[in-house]
Structure formats: structure tokens, C-alpha cells
Chain A
Amino acid sequence: MDDKEEELNRGRRTFLKAMIVLSAGVAVAGVLKGAVTNIITPLVGISSFPTMELVGADGKPLLYSDIPVNTPTTWLFYYPLTNDPNFLLNLGDASGNPVNVPSYDVPIPATGSTYKFNGGVGPKGSVVAYSAICQHLGCIPPEIHYYPPTQTVPGTSFSGSSNPGYIHCSCHGSTYDPLKGAKVITGPTSRPLPNVQLKYNSSTGTFSAYSMVGPTIYGKVSDLSGGTPYASSATTVTVTNTGIP
């Protein structure tokens, strides 16, 4: 074998080696594509917000008179999916009278934009509902908690007249104002709590949840996915008084 031929062979050999690497690379890429796609869990969810009537633990429609003013214990319902807790609050003043909650343009400090909070519903316009997952790092009740007016919020300077009724998260100290669409009062959160839009039927005296506004529920890609949906036939959602003061 002369030198030239050897050189040529060496070139071919390198080429063949490159082909081995390339073909193996292609095969591995295929395997990776399959494996990575497989481990991304498919999202489950629903395509639009359901309208669901709020019912009590006994299955009977929840009436305004059932919800105590200033809601001293935590009332929760899960909407729009079965693992999205929300506070149901009947807001009042320091002397225990319900207050009419006006609509408000809620700012989102994280993006600088605002969205419209429609205000309270019910005969006194005092019933509101907010996501009960803190927008900072996802703490849930009882760590995130509603403190009725004048109650001392632990770990903060809010007490007496400086607490008009705040939602506060004891995990990292975020505070929200439910009277103003749960806008941010103190950080570290940079997003207000998402608002569950409620409808009041004055002829039957019942409430139903029909949509949500504000930031996406914490930890989710969209409000409508990332959890187990209710049965498609379900038209009611149970509100539970957890009894936690």
C-alpha cells in the first residue's frame, strides 16, 4: 500500500467514523425526543369556566344569611378545578356591619397592568371570593388567612384601626386588601390574589361562581388546567366552613 492510498484510506476511515457518530447522534436524538415528550405530563383541564352554584355542606344552596359578616372562620370552595381553593368572604366594618365593596381597577405590580374587579355581590354588595393560594410562593390556608377588621395580624404592625380586614400570608408576610380586589398591600408578593367572579340571584337568594379575573392561579399554566376537573354534569360547588378561626 503506497502512501497515497494510505492517506486516502485514512480520510475514508475518518469519514466512516464521523458517519458512526452522526448516525448514533440521530438515533439518540430520536430516543431523547420520545423520552422527554413522554415525561412531560399531559395537562388536564376544561375549556371554559363552568357556572357553579354555591351550596353548603348539607347540599342546600348557600344563602346570604348563612355567611357570617367578617367571616371569622375560614370558608373555602374549590373552583374552577377541584384543587383550586378560594376564600368566600362577607366583608364588614369594625362594628360588624356588611360593607358594600365597590368595583376597583386592581394593579398588578409584576407587570404594571391593571384589571377590573367587579366589586362585591349579594344584598349588601359585601360578598367576595379570592383564590386562597398565596401568589408569592403558593402557601395555602391556614397559612394564608383572612384577618377581620381590628384583629391583630401576627408578625405585622396591622392591628386595631390599621387593619381594615386584610388577607395575610404568614409564610413570607404578603398582605392583600380584599376590599380592593385583593390588591397588594405588602410584599414580597408582586401579584394580587385572583378574583372569583360571583353572581347573585336576588329572586332565589343564591350565589354562583362563573369566572375568574386577575393573575393566573399560583403554580398553574392557566386557570382552566393543571388539576382534576369537576364532573361535567356538576352544577354546584360545596362551600366548607373549615372552622379555622
Chain B
Amino acid sequence: MVEESKIKKMIRNEFGEDPLKIDQLPLKRVPDYMRGKGGILYWTGAMISIAFVYQVVTGLFLLLYYNPADAYASTEYIINNVPYGALISATHLYGAYAMIVLIYVHMYRNYFHGAYKKPRQIQWITGILLLAITLGVGFFGYSMPGDVLAYDATDVGRGIAQSSPVIGNILVAIVFGNGTTTGLFQRMLGWHIILAALIGLIFGLHFYLAESNSIMPSLKEAKYRAPAIDKEKPEYKKWYPYNFAFMIQLGMMVVGLIILIPSIIALLPSVPSLFSPFPSVSPSSPLALYVPAYPPWFLLFVYKAVDFFDFTGSLAPLNAYGGLIASTVFGVIPLLYFVFVPFIDRSNDLHPLSRPIITSFGILGIIYMAILSAWGALTPGVPIPPMEVLAVLVPPFVVVVGGMIILSRLYRNGKLNVTSQKLIASFVIFLLILTFSMISFAENISAFLYHTSVLNVITTFFTGGVTVFAAVGTMKSADYYTDMERNSPKVTKQRKGMSVNAAVISSAVLVIISIAILVLIAGLNPITQSMVFGVGLGTDLILAGIVLRIYRMTFYNE
């Protein structure tokens, strides 16, 4: 054992043992495999919280400059005149995107693992609530710049709210104010902040429950049976410093990526308007004519669904309710399904294959969302006749549900015997098929949407089916492989940390690089070059994460 440093001794003499009472924090200790290779999936919730904190901090900065009485001009002012304003607003947008993507990853991961089962039902329901509120905050945030996309989005939102029976007008008055422009943006700013605060509140409960119920252990560990509880074992490492270091590392990486990605995108010569880190043109600009009326990408699927309810003939009066029907069928009902799934699927089985119908619904949720979003991006606002809607939505349903039932049979009869070589091979094959079929499916579907012919329908059917099959295959084989590797005996406890010398050299090099980057970016103009600054800042954060990773690898053996 190395002798304790003088500073540490001094602190101990002055303040006593554990002066910050870190060891008494009510934070669960976790098994090593959760911090190891492939353990990142146990921390999707942590990553969301990190992104949320980033959002709160940058949001408060933006609040100092945003003016609801002159939304578009004040947004442009932030971007063009405030030092690092462009960076903060662009990363605030991408931080929201990161949060939403991570929430979906977190939700589906827990869904397929049956994490909603006993004892985590309430935890799951608060999670779904958090998803819904986050999408709401995202909607208001997206509308706040006051650009043409913001006006399109609020108009659509207002139309859908107003078409609700009985309470429509009251709903509009509550959500969007009384129709004056200042009132509108004042309201949206208000709701944006109120709902964000609500996220913080509900997240507190969600996190408390997560700690109390323990992080869900690996399915193998839980023997594929609910309740899956990770009982703290004596050999688990302490939360501090092991998990603490891991959390800091994760935080550096997540924030680094949130800053790095939009900064790089901002420097690209052209970006599709859906992913642009900056607002579009003002609604009164002549250029607004050429901006397709897109909602934010995370609501594209509902937007496309509105086009499915374009009624003709005697049903035409229902068109006034198209938006309402679409958001109910493709938004509210799936959300309610997720809220109630702990009470629908009451079995103790945690294996995805012992719950074929539940698992297929999850896969279908992902597929439908992807198809509808892509469809909405390719043909925004083009009405789709019901037969074409069915032609696109029914084949995945049949393939997935049928396929899952067959797989589930095989699994139950013990015929699904897989080795890791087979799995890797099938993963690669599936991935190749997926890539090609996605491209040809995208081509077919757009051809099919512009010009319907029997040939188009058949090819779209076929490529769509293959895509779905490949997607499922890729996912499943990847899932099995990580499961298998984690549990195969020869891998465990075999990995050695980096040699200390290598660690010293590599971290010194990384620190020198990051200091050089800091020196380089510090001299940049904070107004005109803030996105270049962002590239450097994001890189520095990631480098800091890597240095921490090297330390953990070397001294914690993780």
C-alpha cells in the first residue's frame, strides 16, 4: 500500500473521516459488470439525466436573452450577436434531441427486458410520463424561435388542440394563450419552463424508485424471472470513488458529444432543414415559401399520420378532426399502451422470446415510428389513401408478429441453440441485408408514393418485408451476442488493466493535446466562430472522459 499523501492526512486530521459523508449517500452499489464492457446499457437513465442537467443550464443562459415579445429577432440576436450564443442555442437544441433519443433507447431497452414488471411498475409509469412531458417541452422549445417552422408547428398544434371535442377552445386558451403574438410566445416560454421543472420533479421520484428497486440486473443474473432485484453483495465496490468516477466519465462523454455533434453539423456546407442546428427563415420572408412545413423530427410520425386521415366524399367533414384522430391513434393510444403494459403483461417471464406478442409490439413500435418519420420527411403533407396506408403498415405487422411467435415456439422447445460464431455471422449478414434493403425500400417507397403502380406496390412490399426481417435479425443477434459474451465464463475476470507506464504516457499526451486545443479555441471570435469553439470544447470534454477512462482501467481494473 502506498503511503497516504500529506494533504490527505491533513484533511483527515482537520475534518475527520469522510468529511462530506459521501459513504452515507443513499446510493446503491452495483456489480462490476454494469461498469464493464457493454455495461453502458445499464446507464441510459444516467445519460438522460446528464443531458437534462445540460438542458437546464443552457436553457437558463438562453433565458437571459430570449424575448417573447420579439421571438424571432431575439433568437437571431442570440445567434448573431451574443458571445457563444450560437453555440449555446444550437447545443440546447441538440441536447434536447439527445434527451429524446436516449429516452427512447432507455424505454425500449427496459421494455424488451421486462423491466416494467414487479417491483418496478410505478417506476415504469413515471418513466412514460417523463417521455410524454419531455416531448411536450420539446414541442414548445422547437416553437420558441418564432421562425417559419415554429409558426407551422404551433398552427398545427393549435388546430389539433382546437379540434378536440368540447374542451377545444379552452385547451387552446390554456396552451397557446389568447391569440396575440406576444401572448403566444410568453405562454410557450412559460410552459417550456414549467414542464421542464415538472420533469425535474417527476425525475426525482423516478430516480428514488430506481435506487430503491436497484438497477435491474442482467437477465441471466435474474434467471429470466421477475422480480429482478440486484441484492447488494459485500464484494460490490463502493459507490465512491468507483461509480462516481464512472459517472463523471459518462458526463464528460455525453456533454462532449452534445456539444461536438451540432458544432460539426453547423460547419457543414448544407444540412437538411430537419437537422439544422439553427432556426429557419422568418415566416414573413419570401424564402419561407420553399421551406416544407416540417414539425420537429421527433413528431414527424404523428405529422405523417395526419395525412392518413384525409377523408373524401361523405366523410369529408371528418377532415376537421384528422389531426385529432391521428394524434390519438398514433400518439395517445401507444402512450396509454405503454402506461398500462405492466398490468397487461403480468407474467414473471423476462425473456423477450417468452413474451412474443409484447416483444412484437415493441419492435413494431420502433418500425412504425421509423417508417412514418421517414415517410413524413420524404412527402410532408401528401395525403395517403387508406389502402396505401394498410399496404405499408400491415406487412411489418404480419412479419414481426408471425416471426416472433415462431421464434418463441422454438425457444420454448429448446430448439433455439445458438453459438457465438453463428451469432456474429448472422449479425453481419443481417446488417448487410438491412443496409441494402433500407436503401431500396426508401427508393421504392418514394417511387410508390409519387406514382402508384402494381409493380411499385409489390416491390415496396417485398423490400419493406426484407427490411423488417433484417432489422429484427440484426437487433436480436446483437442482443444475444452481448448477453452471451457477458455470461461466457472465459471472458470474466480475464481482462487486465493497461500497463501503468502506457497509461501515464497516453494520458499525458491527451492532456497536452487538450491544452493545445484550448489555447487554439480560446483565441477564436466568440461571436462569429463559436461553433468552431464548440468543436474544440466538445473534443476537450471527450478527451477528459478518455483520461478518466484510462485511470479507471489502470487502477480500478474496470
Contact = CB atoms under 8 A, between A and B. Distances in A.
Contact of B156 (A138, A221, A244): A138
Given A145-B289, A220-B179, A137 B159 contact: yes
Given A41-B173, A219-B172, A227 B286 contact: no
Contact of A41 (B187, B289, B318): B187
Interface in A19-50: 36, 39-44
Given A41-B177, A143-B293, A221-B169, A189 B155 contact: no
Interface size class for chain B? Answer: 35 or more
B204 interface: no
A41 B182 CA distance: 13
A157 B336 CA distance: 42
B342 to A, nearest CB: 27
B181 A83 contact: yes
Contact of B179 (A112, A191, A225, A243): A225
B382 A187 contact: no
Contacts of B155: 133, 137-140, 218-219
Contact of A170 (B283, B289, B310, B317): B289
A40 B289 CA distance: 34
Interface residues of A, number: 43
Contacts of A133: 155
Nearest to B169: A221
A59 interface: no
Contact of B178 (A44, A188, A189, A245): A44
Contact of A142 (B174, B181, B289, B318): B289
Nearest to B178: A41
B312 interface: yes
Q: Summarize B's interface: helix, strand, loop or mixed.
A: helix
Interface string A106-130: 0001111000000000000000000
Interface stretch (B226-234, B319-327, B362-370, B413-421): B319-327
A109 B316 contact: yes
Interface of B: 148, 151-152, 155-156, 158-159, 162, 169-170, 172-174, 177-181, 183, 187, 283-284, 286, 288-289, 291-293, 306-307, 310, 312, 316-320, 322-323, 380-383
Given A187-B319, A188-B319, A227-B179, A40 B170 contact: yes
A173 interface: yes
Contacts of A44: 178-180
A76 to B, nearest CB: 9
Nearest to B317: A110
B317 A109 contact: yes
B180 A227 contact: yes
B110 to A, nearest CB: 33
Given A41-B178, A219-B179, A143 B289 contact: yes
A172 interface: yes
A236 interface: no
A226 interface: yes
17 contacts: A44-B178, A83-B180, A109-B319, A137-B155, A137-B306, A138-B158, A140-B155, A142-B288, A145-B289, A170-B289, A170-B292, A171-B380, A172-B383, A173-B381, A173-B382, A226-B179, A244-B286
A166 to B, nearest CB: 15
A41 B358 CA distance: 43
A190 interface: yes
B159 A226 contact: no
Q: Which 8 A-B pairs have the closest CB atoms?
A: A138-B155, A226-B179, A172-B381, A142-B289, A190-B319, A171-B293, A41-B178, A244-B286
A228 B182 CA distance: 10
Nearest to A43: B178
Nearest to A42: B178
B316 A110 contact: yes
B179 A83 contact: yes
A140 B151 contact: yes
Contacts of B283: 140
Contacts of B291: 143
B295 to A, nearest CB: 10
A154 to B, nearest CB: 9
A69 B233 CA distance: 85
B383 A173 contact: yes
Contacts of B174: 36, 39-41
